Amino acid sequence: MKIKSAEFVMSNSDVAKCPKSMLPEYAFIGRSNVGKSSLINMLTSRKSLAKTSGRPGKTQLINHFLINKNWHLVDLPGYGYARVSKSAKKVFQKFITQYFALREQLVTAFVLVDIRHNPQPIDLEFMQWLGENGIPFSIIFTKADKLKPKAINRYVDAYKKVLLETWETMPNYFITSSTKDIGKDDVLNYIDGLNANMDLSSN
């Protein structure tokens, strides 16, 4: 898939106010500082479509972007903020769970994980929650440029081992690096394949 257009549509914290169109949606979510904004900018070939920040937890709203006029990329707030109050966390958690519960347009989620770290309980718990609620998702391992190929395989294998303790099969996954454009075509072609199974002309 070649991205010809990427436009910001809206930001909000109320799922009921999300776009009314039935265009397919692909939601990107992960722990704060996992490189989500950089990944979105890499996928769309736009330098600042999603705002990057050195401060974890910068994305605090549901952000919709219209891609190629026929699908939405959704940038969701991270979970596990370092510098956000408990009350604020509860609000974010509430509208994240509402988003997944109420958005019929959602095709699949992409859960971003920093490939350099061992499996984190907060990521595993979130994937478990998605599975229990029947929400399809893929894992996107980020920052692959920081490791050598053998180390990448070692970390992915370690992740598989932990996940297969509770999952029957390893979820679909991608290896990416925003700085080196690694995995860009893999992710976009996957989305393209899912879109091809839907009739987008009637939306």
* Distances 136 to 47, 69, 109, 132, 166 between C-alpha atoms, Å: 29, 23, 6, 10, 16
Query: Which residue type does 145 have?
Result: D
Q: What confidence score (pLDDT) does residue 203 get?
A: 46
pTM above 0.85, yes or no: yes
Q: Among the CATH numbers 3.30.479.30, 3.30.1360.70, 3.40.50.300, 3.40.50.2300, which is that of 6-196? A: 3.40.50.300
Give pLDDT, residue 56.
47
The count of C-alpha atoms lying within 13 angstroms of the C-alpha of 94, restricted to the half-sphere facing its C-beta, is 8
Pairwise CA distance, residues 176 & 190, whole Å: 14
For CA atoms 97, 98, 102, 107, give the dihedral sign. negative
| DSSP letter (8 states) at residue 31 | B
Residue 38: predicted pLDDT: 94
Strand runs (DSSP E) across 95-152, as ranges?
A: 106-114, 137-142
Per-residue pLDDT of the chain (203 residues; tens, 9 = 90+): 999 999 999 998 889 999 999 999 999 999 888 999 999 999 999 988 887 544 444 457 899 999 999 999 999 987 765 455 566 556 557 778 889 999 999 999 999 999 999 999 889 988 998 999 999 999 999 999 999 999 999 999 999 999 999 999 999 999 999 999 999 999 999 999 999 988 655 44
Q: What is the DSSP letter of 175?
A: E
How much is the pLDDT for 44? 95
Q: Name residues whose C-beta falls within 8 Å of residue 7's C-beta, 6 or more positions apart in sequence.
A: 65, 66
Q: Residue-wise over 125-146: b if at least 16 C-beta within 10 A, else e?
A: ebbeebeeeebebbbbbbbbee
Please name the helix (run of DSSP H) or strand (run of DSSP E) that holds residue 155, with its range, or none.
Answer: helix 149-163
Q: Are 12 and 76 in contact (CB under 8 A)?
A: no
